[in-house]
């Protein structure tokens, strides 16, 4: 395991986003003294922002911006992408594909500046769709990305960018590390507006139904589709373990606790202390029938795997979203 000096510059691309904001917060807690956060959004739209961090608004689709972002960098975390939940990625495939410019230009800048380590956040959406047709899915191991048949748009961009990381490592010596995230959730993330993922969307719908007294909830699909969901704290630990390691191949970073969307709703209802009438929208985007993380490899490499129980992480996420809804209501 490699450790990085805390006084060296760490750059978090996508630092105004959900995972990036949490990563900056965690690095600050660890005593890292030189942090730079990069995001395209205006800073008042960042999920978390810290005054002692070098916060910069840059569009990393542009090579010149990437060169500016990585000037003096020792470690780079690339979490930047135009993405969202299933509703967003199914209807914005071209926008998702354009994120390939971010990773490509960041890699070019990383090569020029000689960064010590470059982390790329990939996704379980790279996995072959033919292996995800049954809700009782066999957990996906890293080799299941090939032969390639990833999620259209978003998944293809992630798989291509994985290959770009590999070839920059093999051909140019850029020390790249790649994690395949499985459905990260938690507080300080998107919970409305169309880009939110299932845990946040379900929490929001349950909270709004309870507040309004209209005790019904719309579920996309038949509710039988299955997923695993990884709490943000586990994501941060896995990301940093992998970045500092000598593991050069893409690695699953995800929970292996498989649940159906109906079971996810059950948990949110139990947290809220309410039972809702369910309406199933069979025309809405629902993604693959089943997806779960095979954690054999991450346990071999680190003797660890993401282990936060979904119920525990969802309680924290529900409480945070509940507060956001209450704050918004009070400000009207």
Crossing angle (nearest 10°) for helices 198-212 and 310-330: 50
Choice among 154, 181, 185, 318 that is catalytic: 154
Angle at 24 between CA 123 and CA 313, to 5 degrees: 60
Q: For residues 226 and 297, what is the distance between their CA atoms, to the nearest angstrom?
A: 22
- CB within 8 A of 45, min separation 6: which ones? 16
Q: For residues 239 and 31, what is the distance between their CA atoms, to the nearest angstrom?
A: 17
> Could you give the 3-state DSSP secondary structure of residue 218?
strand
181 is catalytic: no
CB 70 within 8 A of CB 118: no
Helix (H), strand (E) at residue 69? helix 63-70
> Are β-strands 258-260 and 226-228 bridged in parallel, bridged antiparallel, or unpaired?
antiparallel
Displacement of CA 245 from its chain's centroid (Å): 20
**Residue positions annotated with a catalytic role:** 154
């Amino acid at each position: 395991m490699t450790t990085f000096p805390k006084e060296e510059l760490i750059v978090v691309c996508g630092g105004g986003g959900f995972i990036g904001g949490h990563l900056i917060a965690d690095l600050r807690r660890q005593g890292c003294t030189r942090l730079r956060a990069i995001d395209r959004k205006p800073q008042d739209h960042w999920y978390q922002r810290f005054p002692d961090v070098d916060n910069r608004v840059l569009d990393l689709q542009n090579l010149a911006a990437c060169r500016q972002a990585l000037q003096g960098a020792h470690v780079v975390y690339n979490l930047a992408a135009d993405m969202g939940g299933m509703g967003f990625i199914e209807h914005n495939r071209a926008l998702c594909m354009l994120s390939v410019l971010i990773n490509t230009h960041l890699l070019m800048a990383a090569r020029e500046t000689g960064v010590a380590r470059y982390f790329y956040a990939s996704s379980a959406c790279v996995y072959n769709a033919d292996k995800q047709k049954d809700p009782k899915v066999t957990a996906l191991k890293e080799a299941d990305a090939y032969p390639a048949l990833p999620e259209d748009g978003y998944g293809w961009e992630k798989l291509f960018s994985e290959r770009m990381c590999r070839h920059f490592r093999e051909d140019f010596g850029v020390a790249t590390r790649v994690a395949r995230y499985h459905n990260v959730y938690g507080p300080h993330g998107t919970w409305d507006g169309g880009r939110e993922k299932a845990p946040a969307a379900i929490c929001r719908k349950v909270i709004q139904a309870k507040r309004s007294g209209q005790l019904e909830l719309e579920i996309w699909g038949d509710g039988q589709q299955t997923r695993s969901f990884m709490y943000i704290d586990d994501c941060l630990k896995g990301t940093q373990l992998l970045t500092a390691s000598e593991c050069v191949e893409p690695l699953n970073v995800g929970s292996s606790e498989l649940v159906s969307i109906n079971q996810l709703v059950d948990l949110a209802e139990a947290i809220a202390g309410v039972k809702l009438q369910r309406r199933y929208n069979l025309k809405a985007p629902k993604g693959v029938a089943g997806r779960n993380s095979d954690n054999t490899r991450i346990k071999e490499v680190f003797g660890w795997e993401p282990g936060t129980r979904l119920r525990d992480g969802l309680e924290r996420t529900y409480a945070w979203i509940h507060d956001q809804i209450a704050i918004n209501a009070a400000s009207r």
